[in-house]
């Protein structure tokens, strides 16, 4: 699906700051079939209302689901720059750490196809996004370069 791109983190692969950057915990990149902490691979897409492009993927070694938090560090570091990560399951600690990085974890059951999840996201981007997605989109809009212009308009001063 997406080619292996050697990058230090997802943010280095992002070219459209307004696109939704979505990571999938997936062995082959076609379905969400991995637990976050023991995921052997993540595949990342740049998603807009009318397009979706794979931008990066990264493989991690085999990890047991044993509660060892050290295995989370390389995954969290690599995912910096993503907006959303879909996984088959995820623990509370990993969830808190992702949220602290500004990444919204979404747990999905039954190994849904990546293509179907992307289509569902695009439908929301073209219509009324759910609350969680609306918050991400608002944050992305507010983090643009025009925020300095807005501060100047409001009389913000150092």
* Domain extent listing, the chain: 10-153
Distance CA 45, CA 81 (A): 12
Distance CA 145, CA 122 (A): 25
- Residue 20: phi and psi, rounded to 5, are -80, 125
CATH topology of domain 10-153: Nucleotidyltransferase; domain 5 (3.30.420)
Ranges assigned E (strand) in 60-145:
84-87, 104-107
CB–CB of 34/111 below 8 Å? no
Place of tokens 């085999």: 62
**Tens digits of residue pLDDT in 16-57:** 999 999 999 999 999 999 999 999 999 999 999 999 999 999
Least trusted range by pLDDT, from 26-40, 56-70, 94-108:
56-70
């Amino acid at each position: 699906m997406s080619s292996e791109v050697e990058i230090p983190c997802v943010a280095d692969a992002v070219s459209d700051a307004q696109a939704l950057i979505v990571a999938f915990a997936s062995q082959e990149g076609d379905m969400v079939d991995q637990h976050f902490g023991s995921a052997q691979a993540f595949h990342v897409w740049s998603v807009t209302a009318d397009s979706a492009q794979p931008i990066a993927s990264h493989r991690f070694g085999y990890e047991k689901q044993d509660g060892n938090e050290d295995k989370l560090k390389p995954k969290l570091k690599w995912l910096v720059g993503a907006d959303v990560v879909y996984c088959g399951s995820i623990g509370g600690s990993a969830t808190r750490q992702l949220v602290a990085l500004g990444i919204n974890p979404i747990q999905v059951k039954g190994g849904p196809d990546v293509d179907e999840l992307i289509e569902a996201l695009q439908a929301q981007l073209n219509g009324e996004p759910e609350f969680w997605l609306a918050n991400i989109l608002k944050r992305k809009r507010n983090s643009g370069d025009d925020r300095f212009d807005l501060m100047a308009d409001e009389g913000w001063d150092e």
